[in-house]
Amino acid sequence: MFQDIALAGPILLPALAALLLLGVELLAGGRRSQGSFLLCALGALVALIYTGYFLANGRTGLAFNGTLNVDNTALLIALIVHFSALLAVLLSRSYLAARRDADAPEYYSLVMAAASGMAMLAAANDLVNVFLGVELMSIPLYVLAAIRRKSARSVEAGLKYLLLGAFASAFLLFGMGLLYGASGSTLLSALPAEIARLETNGGLAAFGVVMFLIGVFFKVAAVPFHMWTPDVYEGSPTPVTAFMATATKAAAFGLLLRFTPVIATGMGPEAGSSMLAVIAVLTMFVGNLGALRQQNLKRLLAYSSIAHAGYMLVGVAAIVAEDGGEIALTGSSAIVFYLGTYAAMNLGAFGVAVVLDRGEGREGVNELKGLCSERPLLAAVMAVFTLALAGVPPTAGFLGKLYVFSCAVQARMYALAVVAVLASVVGLFYYLRLILLMYFTPREEGAEPRLLRTDSFLAVASFVCAVLVLWLGVLPAWFVDFVEATVRG
Amino acid sequence: MITVVDYYVVASILFAIGALGFLLRKNVLVMFMSVELMLNSANLVLVASAKSFDLARGSAFALVSVAVAAAEVGVGLAIIIALFRLKATVDAEEITNLRG
């Protein structure tokens, strides 16, 4: 029993922090202080170190009758989730200081609750736990999106997220019901064998897999289930958007990786991988083409995050195509590597967005004009994140793309790999536009003076992200080896 | 003779009604109710399957999902009330601050 609780630490620690924070806020009786910020950052840090310790010492295994499978992939995903939570909390402080209406007592508690759900989703090995993880992740995020309840934009973002999130959950749950009906089991690891054994049910499993995947596609913002993303990302408080964009993706792709054997058995490797490949291609192009015409930095990053979900789906399609074997391992480690680097560069870019934030609906890309001459360091940091998101060497973004696309080649899906490279080329345009604005476009005459909102926590967070992005890009060997070695177990 | 497949058919019809309601209706509260119908059709699948396998797991799952759906409803209604206070409407077509 104690062993089980220890293994579930990456899930339980943030949950504990969430409860503690609620209690502290209750006792503080509305007097706002730095206490909950520090407590929350500490909670995320402890969860991060705990997960890292388990990972480094290979403390993995099944917990609670096999309903949680805390393997290395789950721990790596939890590590990315807790890293994102910590950095989002660090970004929050200066944002909340500027926006008093977002500074609700439950803000930090909700961040920790969502992190707990994400870690649970990554480790879930039972459909019940998958559902609980998805909801524990989503419900706090609905509230966080709408936390500025006097702001029509924020509430609208929360409402759209809630309605479409609940719609997606219904698909997910219906799919789970059908999978249970096709197998008589709720254990994810037992599903493929049981589905194959009860083959009489015919299309039931395939139908279940499709419904389940629709639910997951909503969560990762894959086309055609991406409509909510730009609105929700724009309307939510910026640090919350950063957290949503990185940690939710990590958790949902962790679930998808664990679900690949079920896709391959339920739909057949060819049908499953073809469907995933089509969705991946659509997602990459809709994301990149949508971003081209955006004037709002947060909306631009939202479309960019859609495109990145597409790149990662290329890897998932490759894994399903081969159904087990070598590619399952290389594919998983490529996607986990991508998720880790994406977390660093995206959180960094959103950090800069927090600094430049002028207020609602004015998060325009024009704020970047002439940034280089006024704030060379900020411009340089943003340039690093932008190049990494575009996938330009020597940043980590390039290597992430390289690994994921080479999985498609390994699975002999050459056309998919070529299309993915073409999509990244389209993506180059809008990322380079940001760089051009920063370095080669002077600021307009008579423009309002900049309001740079920053503090030391935000600076540290952006610096850590920039260093990670460059370090993983220039000297990736240790991280790649680490991820590969741990995913292989 | 009613078999488990009949339950699946009924559940699918309920799910389709819910999905169509969600996509076609403009009242946010009605959209939310449609989602609840979809969730309950999923519960029907779970319970019917549990009965056909004679395993309690599916029924327990349905109980868990009912509890979670209640939490979702709580948050959902709170957000809808916050919206109504700001805009004095629950019409999805009038909620258009975010466009681009």
pLDDT band at A171 (very low <50, low <70, confident <90, very high): very high
Mutate to test the interface with A, among B64, B75, B84, B94 (most CBs of A within 10 A): B75
- ipTM score for this prediction: 0.96
> Model confidence over A232-252: pLDDT tens digits?
999 999 999 999 999 999 999
CB A184 within 8 A of CB B53: yes
Q: Do A132 and B64 touch (CB under 8 A)?
A: yes
- Chain A nearest-CA distance from B100, in A, is 7
CB atoms B82 and A149 under 8 Å = yes
Cβ within 8 Å, pair B61-A176: yes
Sketch the domain layout of chain A as residue ranges: 1-167+183-195+220-255, 270-489
Residue A1 confidence (pLDDT) above 70: yes
CB contact (8 A) between residue B83 and residue A204: no
Q: Which residues lie closer than 8 Å to A303 by C-beta, 6 or more apart?
A: A229, A230, A287, A288, A290, A291, A294
For strands A68-70 and A61-63, give the pairing.
antiparallel
Smallest CA–CA distance from A150 into chain B, residue: B86
Q: List, for residues B44-57, the tens digit of each pLDDT value.
A: 999 999 999 888 88
The candidate with the shortest Cα–Cα distance to A316, out of A254, A268, A267, is: A254
Residue A484 has pLDDT above 80, yes or no: no
Burial A125-158 (b: 16+ CB within 10 A, else e): bbbbbbbbbbbbbbbbbbbbbbbbbebbbbbbbb
What domains can be seen in chain B, in order of their start residue? 4-87 (1.10.287.3510)
Query: A394 pLDDT band (50/70/90 cuts)?
Result: confident
Burial (CB count <10 Å: 0-12, 13-18, 19+), residue A170: buried
Q: Which pTM does this prediction carry?
A: 0.95
Q: Which residues of B touch A131 (CB under 8 A)?
A: 61, 64-65, 68
Please list every residue in chain B whose beta carbon sits closer than 8 Å to the beta carbon of residue A235: 97-98
Closest-CA residue of A relative to B44 is A177
The neighbour count for residue A224, using CB atoms within 10 Å, is 11
- A66 reaches B (C-beta below 8 A): no
Residue range A7-51, pLDDT digits in tens: 999 999 999 999 999 998 888 876 666 788 999 999 999 999 999
Interface test with B, best of A159, A178, A226, A300 (most B CBs within 10 A): A159
- How far apart (Å, rounded) are the C-alpha atoms in residues A257 and A260? 5
The pLDDT score that the predictor gives to residue A147 is 93
Closest CA to A344 of A381, A302, A291: A381
Contact A177, B43 (CB under 8 A): yes
Answer yes or no: is pLDDT of B88 > 70: yes
| Mean pLDDT for all residues in chain B | 91
- Please tell me the distance from the alpha carbon of residue A82 to that of residue A340, in angstroms, as a whole number: 11
Of A334, A473, A347, whose CA–CA distance to A404 is shortest? A334
- Per the listing, tokens 């083959």 go with A199
Nearest CB partner across the interface for A167, out of B35, B44, B53: B35
